[in-house]
Amino acid sequence: MHDFSNVTVTRNDDDSVSLLIDQKPISERYGMKFSASIVDELKALATGQNMKLFDQFVFAHTDLNFEHNYRYVTCIVNTETGYQVTRNFVYTINAQGQQPIEHVISKQGQPMTTADVHEFIHTHLQKSLNDYTDLNYAY
């Protein structure tokens, strides 16, 4: 197990902590703080394991049989070389009476960039409006 050297922990006055990985904040936009217990949870991660930090809803739609959810998920992964932040675009399909099926949407096996996610959403919306939606009727 490697050390915790690429993680910077700043203790805040309200007993929370702020985290930086390789001197970069995990969530620059929202200035997220975490419970101090996250430090022990991260140190307990075995190599290859990850911890979900944020799960942000992006959009959802329902067809006749299924609910489709798309989310953007931020995790910290304990790797051989240190802790890393990963961000994945995640698709979940829900069918009544069954366990949800979830998988990460990638672009040729690589995590999707912000531009890739925007393109995916735009293309998906256009396809839905053009191929599957009749705005003259509600089925």
Q: What is the model's pTM?
A: 0.80
Q: What percentage of residues in the chain have a pLDDT greater than 70?
A: 97
Joined together, the tokens standing for residue 105 give 């949407």
Q: What is the domain count for the chain?
A: 1
- The answer to whether residue 51 sits within a structural domain is yes
Reply yes or no on whether the pLDDT at 25 is more than 60. yes
- The answer to whether residue 138 sits within a structural domain is no
- The answer to whether residue 92 sits within a structural domain is yes
Joined together, the tokens standing for residue 91 give 């698709």
- The answer to whether residue 1 sits within a structural domain is no
Cα–Cα distance, 89 to 38 (Å, whole number): 23
- The answer to whether residue 100 sits within a structural domain is yes
Work out the average pLDDT over 116-124. Answer: 92
Q: pLDDT tens digit string along 50-86? A: 999 999 999 888 877 899 999 999 999 999 999 999 9
Q: pLDDT tens digit string along 77-101? A: 999 999 999 989 999 999 989 999 9
- Which has more pLDDT, 31 or 73? 73
Reply yes or no on whether the pLDDT at 16 is more than 70. yes
What confidence score (pLDDT) does residue 1 get? 42
What confidence score (pLDDT) does residue 32 get? 83
- The answer to whether residue 137 sits within a structural domain is no
Residue with tokens 């096996």: 109
What confidence score (pLDDT) does residue 103 get? 93
Reply yes or no on whether the pLDDT at 23 is more than 60. yes
Domain extent for 48: 7-132
Measured in whole angstroms, the distance separating CA 30 from the mean position of its chain's CA atoms is 15
- The answer to whether residue 2 sits within a structural domain is no
| Conformational region of residue 35, where left means phi above 0, alpha means psi within -120 to 50, and beta covers everything else | beta
- The answer to whether residue 139 sits within a structural domain is no
Whether residue 82 contacts residue 8, with contact meaning beta carbons closer than 8 Å, is answered with no
